[in-house]
């Protein structure tokens, strides 16, 4: 099995995808190990020669920053921190995102500015490699003083508290440790704060949503191409000449993708087409392309974040400085997560409009794409479903990042709300997936009503595979099953 070494290369979205898909284990590089040990030793030495207050290390937290804690209570201070801050509630975070939280927390700690003990990082690595996933909840973070509540739940099993998922079962950490013959860790000065300060909840959601977004954008182009052919559209809007005079990268790429999907289609080459097609077909390069360009920028922000140190205070052994600052503040992520919601919602919005056009009974297609319309309702209500979901996405696009609320007795007086932006972004992603699945059902149904004419070899091959899971709709049937099957079909592979 391949091992990914933390601290050798910059972590990218593509690298994370490879780690996930190939089920790589992770390990600290020699350089990362050296940095972690050096920083921890520095803090030991620092505390042995000074009694001055250092935030979160020998003081209370937040509003309690001025309360000095005695040296013999520093271990208890960090233990209490995890217990008191594990105030998460709501739904459980999906396991795939918890796994990313572990990976990103380890990455951030590897830079040697957090004064974490090597044994603590190694235990987090053991969790990741053995697929021991702490139970974390979606609600509780303001996205400013780090993702305190969710990260506290992520760290609780280190001290023998909380619950975990292990081999398909949810069990107490105490029970897990008995099974594995492990002992709970005793956290040293600063360690609890290093574990719960940080943006790894927001970051993990963002990385997960970006990975899903890249997949969905590929499907959006493929499904749009099927719809374009099935609606008897013109090829002109996808010719290169129009796009090189407005050369947005995403627009150029999308137009090329649509052309490739339609190459060799009998339908697209038919004569007698109307002069212009509706915008939802004609403007696919401009709309899909704008979302792609937006997501490219959003990815750059997240790749900076996941290669950063985001706890507080930051420890600099070479400079003999411990700096209390604000790297935990999630504003860069809150803004871009809101942006990602908007970019993806537009993919769903234009997809729903194409579905509406396809069932409208124009361009020689029967109403609702069904024989004996009236006796059969066909795909009438799938469009209702798509419209409902598209409308929900518009509501979810209300930005979280413009909100703030005062906490910790006024000490934490501006927060990002990035965690709320993160959780609603995942809802938008999943909604867009369902809208596209409905368009896939609709477009393939319309395409087969154009027989005996055929689409391109690529589209016909995709249609053949799709028909193995969702058959042509001859008469009314339970369409919820078709939508579920279409989503599963899209999840299994990239369109090609």
SS (H, E, C) 76-124: HHHHHHHHHHCCCEEEECCHHHHHHHHHHHHHHHCCCCCCCCHHHHHHH
**What pLDDT digit, counting tens, does each position of 178-194 carry?**
999 999 999 998 899 99
Share of residues in the chain with pLDDT > 90 (%):
84
One domain for residues 106 and 168 = yes
| CATH classification of the domain holding 47 | 1.10.275.10
Give the Cα separation of 305 and 279 in Å (integer). Answer: 37
Could you confirm whether 137 is annotated as catalytic? Answer: no
Instruction: Express each pLDDT in 303-327 by its tens digit.
Output: 999 999 999 899 999 999 999 898 9
- With a cut of 90, say whether residue 22 has pLDDT above it: yes
Confidence class for position 53, pLDDT limits 50, 70, 90: confident
Domain co-membership, 178 together with 232: no
Q: Please state which of the ranges 109-113, 233-237, 289-293, 326-330 shows the lowest mean pLDDT.
A: 326-330
Whole domain around residue 110: which residue ranges? 3-198
Check residue 76 and give its pLDDT: 87
Distance CA 114, CA 118 (A): 11
Same domain, 428 and 333: yes
What does the pLDDT average to over 363-392?
A: 95
Judge if 220 and 180 occupy the same domain.
no
pLDDT of the residue at 310? 95
Burial class (CB in 10 A: 0-12, 13-18, 19+), 311: buried
152 and 290 share one domain: no
* pLDDT band at residue 67 under the 50/70/90 scheme: low
Give the DSSP letter of residue 328.
T
pLDDT band at 64 (very low <50, low <70, confident <90, very high): low
Mean pLDDT (the chain) is: 94
C-alpha to C-alpha distances, 9 to 5, 73, 110, 356, 433, nearest whole angstrom: 8, 38, 12, 47, 32
User: Cis peptide before 297, with omega less than 30 degrees from 0?
Assistant: no
Asked if residues 265 and 230 have their Cβ atoms less than 8 Å apart, the reply is: no
**Whether residue 125 sits in one domain with residue 237:** no
CATH of the domain at 368: 1.20.200.10
Nearest to 202 by CA among 249, 142, 266, 256: 142
Q: How many domains does the chain have?
A: 2
Domain boundary among 174, 198, 222: 198
Q: Which of 198, 229, 253 is the last residue of a domain?
A: 198
DSSP string, 238-257: GSHHHHHTS--HHHHHHHHH
Higher pLDDT, 160 or 69: 160
Clarify whether residues 212 and 162 are in a common domain: no
Q: Are residues 322 and 460 in the same domain?
A: yes
Are residues 234 and 186 part of one domain? no
- Select which of 55, 128, 166, 205 is catalytic: 55
Q: What's the pLDDT at 61? A: 65
212/216 Cα distance (integer angstroms): 6
Residue 73 pLDDT exceeds 90: no
DSSP per residue, 401-439: TT----BGGGTB-----HHHHHHHHHHHHHHHHHHHHHH
Q: Are residues 263 and 236 in the same domain?
A: yes
Among candidate residues 179, 114, 124, 90, the one with its CA nearest the CA of residue 419:
90
The mean per-residue pLDDT over the stretch 357-385 comes to 94
Distances (CA, A) of 467 to 17, 26, 367, 489: 29, 40, 22, 10
Cα 250 from Cα 213, distance rounded (Å): 14
**Contact of 346 with 431, CB cutoff 8 Å:** no
Strand ranges (DSSP E) for 160-255?
163-166, 169-172
Q: Is pLDDT of 66 > 80?
A: no
Based on the domain organization, do 156 and 275 belong to the same domain?
no
Which of 452, 446, 466 has its CA nearest to residue 368? 446
Can you tell me the mean pLDDT for 64-76? Answer: 70
Specify whether 186 is located in the same domain as 210: no
Domain end marker among 141, 170, 198: 198
Straight-line distance from the first to the last Cα atom of the chain, in angstroms, rounded to the nearest whole number: 28
């Amino acid at each position: 099995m391949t091992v990914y070494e933390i601290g050798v290369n910059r972590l990218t979205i593509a690298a994370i995808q490879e780690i996930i898909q190939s089920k790589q284990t992770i390990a600290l590089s020699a350089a990362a190990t050296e940095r972690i040990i050096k920083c921890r030793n520095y803090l030991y030495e620092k505390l042995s020669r000074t009694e001055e207050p250092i935030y979160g290390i020998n003081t209370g937290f937040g509003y309690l920053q001025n309360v000095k804690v005695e040296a013999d209570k520093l271990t208890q201070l960090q233990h209490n921190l995890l217990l008191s801050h594990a105030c998460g509630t709501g739904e459980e975070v999906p396991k795939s995102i918890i796994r990313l939280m572990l990976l990103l927390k380890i990455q951030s700690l590897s830079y040697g500015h957090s004064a974490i003990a090597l044994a603590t990082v190694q235990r987090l690595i053991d969790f990741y490699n053995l697929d021991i996933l702490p139970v974390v909840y979606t609600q509780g973070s303001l996205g400013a003083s780090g993702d305190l509540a969710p990260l506290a739940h992520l760290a609780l099993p280190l001290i023998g508290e909380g619950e975990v998922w292990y081999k398909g079962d949810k069990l107490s950490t105490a029970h897990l440790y008995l099974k594995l013959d492990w002992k709970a860790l005793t956290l040293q000065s600063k360690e609890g704060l290093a574990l719960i300060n940080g943006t790894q909840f927001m970051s993990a959601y963002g990385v997960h949503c970006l990975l899903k977004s890249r997949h969905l954008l590929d499907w959006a182009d493929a499904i749009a191409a099927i719809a374009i052919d099935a609606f008897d559209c013109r090829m002109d809007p996808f010719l290169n000449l129009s796009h090189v005079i407005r050369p947005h990268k995403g627009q150029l790429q999308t137009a090329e993708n649509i052309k490739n999907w339609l190459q060799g289609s009998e339908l697209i080459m038919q004569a007698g087409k109307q002069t212009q097609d509706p915008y939802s077909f004609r403007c696919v390069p401009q709309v899909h392309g704008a979302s792609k360009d937006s997501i490219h920028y959003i990815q750059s922000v997240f790749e900076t974040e996941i290669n950063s140190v985001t706890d507080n205070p930051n420890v600099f052994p070479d400079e003999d400085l411990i700096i209390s600052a604000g790297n935990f503040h999630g504003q860069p992520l809150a803004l871009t997560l809101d942006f990602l919601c908007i970019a993806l919602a537009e993919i769903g919005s234009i997809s729903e409009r194409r579905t509406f056009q396809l069932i409208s009974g124009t361009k020689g297609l029967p109403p609702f794409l069904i024989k004996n319309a009236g006796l059969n309702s066909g795909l009438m209500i799938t469009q209702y479903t798509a419209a409902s979901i598209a409308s929900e996405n518009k509501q979810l696009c209300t930005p979280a990042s413009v909100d703030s609320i005062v906490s910790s007795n006024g000490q934490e007086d501006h927060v990002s709300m990035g965690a709320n932006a993160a959780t609603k972004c995942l809802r938008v992603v999943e909604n867009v997936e369902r809208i596209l699945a409905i368009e896939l059902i609709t477009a393939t149904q319309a395409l087969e009503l154009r027989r005996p004419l055929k689409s391109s070899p690529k589209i016909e091959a995709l249609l053949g595979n799709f028909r193995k899971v969702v058959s042509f709709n001859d008469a009314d049937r339970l369409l919820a099953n078709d939508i579920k099957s279409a989503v599963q079909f899209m999840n299994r592979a990239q369109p090609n």
